[in-house]
A and B are shown apart, each in its own frame.
Chain A
């Protein structure tokens, strides 16, 4: 018995050897089977004698992005969210005998475009494989994927986030993209526990997915969240995926382990069931802390799949579909290799132009990527990098900001705070998008213009802004008039107010007269309090200076 199990493992090794001979570049061949044994070789040991080193988290991500296309990856049925059950299903999607896959060119182009945006190497030739597993929402009993040779490999995703003590420091990081592969989505199962049955909706079955595998280059939830946020932004900019996590258009699984820096990686767990970026950060940080606690108690981390429970904020072990998983990968016999061409010159003669995926054409059509856009905004408007981060991360905010600039002579540096603090603050408070803002860019520009030309003070402008938010439709000028918020620049009126303040504080006046000019600001504040912040500060300062000299 023992001898024959040795033979079996030898056989497996032989297979691997053969595979690596035939596909020297396809290091992913045995990914599913071997990663745990190759990468996660040791359980971090806490050395009692030496000073215990700090355990740190290691995070890798697998992202499934639904391709934004009209039809499915291999069939001509539509892709749509929340349609009547089984209404978007073709005979192929239902795996009727005699049907064959026909690849959607849009899905290939979307994957190539995404790969280019993520600095990947595009494989001129990629292959399709069958990955077998039994589940009712996968009627074929296998998923068509790209296991041996994916469409793209070796990319890099640069991302940045606000960190540091005051959360206003832009921290730049990057994560390697191992590969991007095209594959089919599965259908959806509705579990009816009461009648002990499963209802199957195949509308999603066969929708094109891009699976992006990120290397374990991240160390905490915040980094992973920022990386996914940047990826989401890139996908939305490209239009290759709508990126809505709550609708399942972007699904993230996190591989989490802990180790002492410099030591081999620890045993990892896979955290699933994460449906927002916020939860992604929480799930990862919880899982890192849990693993550290297990090791510090002297326990060992189990290699397992865990689900994130957003209510408790914890990860819990998931019952695996089947412990003895064997996907029995095999080449998809119904699909020849997928060839993409570098440029029109490399197209073989006789090929139909609309049948060919040309990388050069897609590269030329790439829109401005978020990172480039941020850099451009910093350069063009003289704003700070952290402002550009906020501008680009909120959908439609750049357009809003630029629309305000077009309607006012105020300097961009002075406008940016209004947009990234006041506007975004109000939007966030009410969970609204930029397009839902009750204050239009033109209305905000009008307000800022009134401030710029000296009609209102900056504190009054903030009050007008709040009033405009509450009663949309009213112009800034109307509100200023109604609430009498206009700047008091009547010299005689200001003279009398200043005199009143000076009379009430003779000690301060004496201090100024004896050379302490700093306390003048105290009097300025008192005058502003009298006028509810409406006094022209330049004028007030001049009057007080006159009266105390």
Chain B
């Protein structure tokens, strides 16, 4: 998991180097770049695949295993499997704006929940949750001076529909059809 985060952060920094004007977060990118250089050196020197938490104050953490290991959790250690009631499916469909009430769709959702159930086995007592890999960094603050804006034309060019200098969106939030209506629409589904 850390691996992905690090990769993503690296990519973010690279983007910021290419087009600084697009990125508002100049302060970060500078500190990140410095750190990254240091880290790159470290990478080269140690020459291993060991990845520590980016921006962690400790450069090396022996708690992190050198290679990823994997062990499936036995079924009897997991909490009883969750079945999704129709009401909840309805709410999830509305929130996600995705219809998935087919047998296959529900099976997929239940499988995903079952997979996540393994997290219940992990003992997290006494461990403070981590919000972000940046949580021990100080927040970069900007002085209150105008540096951006006045680029309506460029921004509006990105939009398919515009009227004068406005973006155009569909009217309001369209209420979704009720479950019965949607059931009628999806009458070919297996449910």
Contact = CB atoms under 8 A, between A and B. Distances in A.
A81 interface: no
Nearest to A354: B143
A326 B83 contact: no
Interface in A25-84: 69-71, 74-78, 84
B87 A5 contact: yes
B107 interface: no
Interface stretch (B35-43, B98-106, B133-141, B181-189): B133-141
A8 B80 CA distance: 12
Interface in A387-414: none
A372 B132 CA distance: 44
B129 to A, nearest CB: 5
Summarize B's interface: helix, strand, loop or mixed: loop
Residue from A75, A98, A105, A332 having most chain B Cβ neighbours under 10 A? A98
Contacts of B191: none
A381 interface: no
Contacts of B63: none
Among A22, A91, A108, A135, max chain B CB count under 10 A is at: A91
B149 A78 contact: yes
B88 A5 contact: yes
B155 A94 contact: yes
B23 A324 contact: no
Nearest to A127: B131
A275 to B, nearest CB: 21
Interface string B86-112: 111001001100000000000000000
B144 A91 contact: no
A199 B95 contact: no
B104 to A, nearest CB: 19
B59 to A, nearest CB: 18
A433 B45 CA distance: 72
B119 to A, nearest CB: 12
B155 A89 contact: yes
Interface residues of A, number: 73
B62 interface: no
Contacts of A99: 22-25
A32 to B, nearest CB: 15
Contact of A333 (B95, B132, B148): B132
Contacts of A8: 82, 85, 88
Nearest to B155: A94
Contacts of B23: 98-100
Interface string B138-173: 111111111111111001101001011111111111
Contact of B148 (A90, A331, A355): A90
A321 interface: yes
A496 B137 CA distance: 93
A3 B169 CA distance: 42
A7 B82 contact: yes
B146 A78 contact: yes
Contacts of B91: 324, 326
Interface in A186-210: 189-193, 196-202
Contacts of A69: 144
B145 A199 contact: no
Nearest to A87: B152
B131 A333 contact: yes
**Of residues B148, B170, B173, which shows the largest number of chain A Cβ atoms within 10 Å of its Cβ?**
B148
A335 B168 contact: no
Contacts of B142: 71, 76, 102-105
B101 to A, nearest CB: 14
Contacts of A336: 132, 134-139
B75 interface: no
Given A4-B85, A7-B82, A322 B139 contact: no
B155 A201 contact: no
B19 interface: yes
A212 B25 CA distance: 28
A191 B168 CA distance: 10
Given A94-B155, A101-B24, A338-B139, A86 B165 contact: yes
Interface string A472-505: 0000000000000000000000000000000000
A334 B32 CA distance: 13
Interface string A130-149: 00001110000000000000
Given A103-B141, A336-B135, A92 B86 contact: no
Nearest to B132: A333
A103 B24 CA distance: 10
Contacts of A3: 83
A85 B143 contact: no
B139 A87 contact: no
22 contacts: A7-B82, A8-B88, A71-B147, A74-B24, A77-B146, A85-B165, A91-B151, A91-B155, A98-B19, A99-B24, A100-B23, A102-B140, A127-B131, A189-B169, A190-B166, A196-B170, A199-B163, A200-B166, A200-B167, A200-B168, A336-B137, A351-B138
Interface of A: 1, 3-5, 7-8, 11, 22, 69-71, 74-78, 84-92, 94, 96, 98-108, 127, 134-136, 189-193, 196-202, 321-322, 324, 326, 328, 331-339, 351, 354-357
Closest 8 CB pairs of A and B: A77-B149, A136-B169, A100-B25, A76-B147, A106-B144, A90-B148, A331-B131, A199-B166
